């Protein structure tokens, strides 16, 4: 029997930043998914990985990402990418989170993030209200490791006092789901809110 549900934030509770990346690419004449290809090159030690672990900060990331993207054919300022990350809240996913919590499951947010605020005070308050629902929040910028490093998932289990086999984990990236599955978690790849609601409902026995 499952005891806990672990949630990615961007791409699960929030809409995926990949949509914003694609819009930027189209606007600037870049190949589709170019920004994702930069992030996928040397994924454990590139500018993006360093930023999410807080090994570098904004100005240094701006230059590092620009150099990495230029090496792949198109120079993109890191600051421009950071401006595309906010995403929109998916209210149906917040409602699902509330239902899962009301049913007695422990809930945690596992997010690869960067230091800083979510834009306006209103936006920060909206995100803060969602984060307050979780029993635990594991942020890469604070713990010094990130998905898909196994330690990141271990921290979440320790905070909730559960075993990996007790957990369901939702994320929109397969690379982040693989180590969780290898640890024994039931994993759900989120392609849309509708699919996530259906798939999690099937696992937990919700209507």
DSSP of 6-35? EE-TBTTTBPPHHHHHHHHHHHTTPPTTHH
Give residue 125's domain range. 4-16+87-204
Residue 180, SS3 per DSSP? helix
Total domains in the chain come to 2
Mean pLDDT of 182-197: 97
CATH code of the domain covering residue 189: 3.40.50.1000
CB-based contact 178:184 (threshold 8 Å): no
Return the pLDDT at 64: 97
Last residue of a domain, which of 54, 82, 110?
82
Question: Residue 121: what pLDDT?
Answer: 79
CB atoms within 10 A of CB 24: 17
Contact (Cβ atoms closer than 8 angstroms) between residue 199 and residue 167: no
Q: Domain end: 30, 63, 82, which one?
A: 82
Residues 103 and 12 in one domain: yes
Domain boundary among the residues 38, 63, 82 is at 82
Decide if 200 contacts 168 (C-beta within 8 A): yes
Q: Using one digit for the tens of pLDDT, what is the confidence trace for 21-53?
A: 999 999 999 999 999 999 999 999 999 999 999
Residue 33 Rama label (left phi>0; alpha psi -120 to 50; beta): left
Residues 180, 94 within the same domain: yes
Q: Is the pTM of this model over 0.75?
A: yes
Same domain, 12 and 101: yes
Do 55 and 114 fall within a single domain? Answer: no
User: Over the stretch 132-164, which tens digit does the pLDDT of each residue have?
Assistant: 999 999 999 999 999 999 999 999 999 999 999
119/33 same-domain check: no
1: tokens are 């029997």
78 and 95 co-located in one domain: no
Cβ pair 126, 98 in contact under 8 A: no
Interatomic CA distance for residues 22 and 48, integer angstroms: 17
**Side-by-side strand order, sheet with 4-7:** 136-139, 106-111, 4-7, 167-171, 186-189
Q: Are residues 74 and 172 in the same domain?
A: no
């Amino acid at each position: 029997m499952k005891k806990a549900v672990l949630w990615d934030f961007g791409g699960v509770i929030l809409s995926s930043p990949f949509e914003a990346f694609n819009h930027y690419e189209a606007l600037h004449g870049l190949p589709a998914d170019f920004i994702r290809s930069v992030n996928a090159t040397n994924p454990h030690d590139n500018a993006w990985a360093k930023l999410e672990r807080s090994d570098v900060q904004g100005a240094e990331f701006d230059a590092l990402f620009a150099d990495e993207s230029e090496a792949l054919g198109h120079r993109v300022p890191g600051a421009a990418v950071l401006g595309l990350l906010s995403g929109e809240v998916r209210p149906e996913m917040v409602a699902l989170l509330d239902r899962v919590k009301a049913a007695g499951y422990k809930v945690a947010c596992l997010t690869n993030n960067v230091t800083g605020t979510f834009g306006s005070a209103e936006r920060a308050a909206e995100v803060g209200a969602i984060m307050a629902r979780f029993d635990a929040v594991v942020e890469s910028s604070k713990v010094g490791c990130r998905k898909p490093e196994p330690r990141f998932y271990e921290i979440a289990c320790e905070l909730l006092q559960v075993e990996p086999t007790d957990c369901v984990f939702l994320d929109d990236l397969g690379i982040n789901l693989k180590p969780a599955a290898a640890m024994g978690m039931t994993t759900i790849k989120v392609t849309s809110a509708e699919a996530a609601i259906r798939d999690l409902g099937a696992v937990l026995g919700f209507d």
